[in-house]
Amino acid sequence: MPTTLIERRISWAGVLIAGGLVIQLLTLLWTHPLAFVAFLLLGCPLVVFGILLFLYALVSHEPSGSSPAGPG
């Protein structure tokens, strides 16, 4: 189970991305305007939010034991 903040964020990012990809998978099985709309309005945003959350988790992570760099 994820215990640290970064792991929880990565976990959520994975859930969002996987959800978006499952929706995309379903839309690929159906040639219909509604499938296109579902892909565009549900699948894509979920994946994009997931990727952004993953990147945010990486850049906002401060490794434990790190100290701010300073002169000397």
Partner 1 sequence: MSRVVIVEIAFVAAAALLAFLVAFRAELTRVRGGKVLAFVALFILPLLAVWGGFSEHMERAQSTRFCLSCHVMEDYGRSLYIDDPSYVPARHFQNNFVPRDRACYTCHTDYTMFGGVKSKMRGVRHIWVYYLGKVPKPEDIKLYHPYNNRECFHCHLGARRYEEASEHHKQPDMLAKAASGELSCMSSNCHDIVHDVGTLKDATFWKESR
Q: Residue 21 CB, nearest distance to partner 1 (Å)?
A: 4
Query: What's the min distance (Å) between Cβ of 35 and partner 1?
Result: 8
Please identify, using beta-carbon distances, which residue of 9 and 68 lies nearer to partner 1. 9
Distance CA 64, CA 15 (A): 26
Among 8, 42, 68, 70, binds partner 1 (CB under 8 A): 8
Site for partner 1 in 44-63 (CB under 8 A): 44, 47-48, 50-51, 54-55
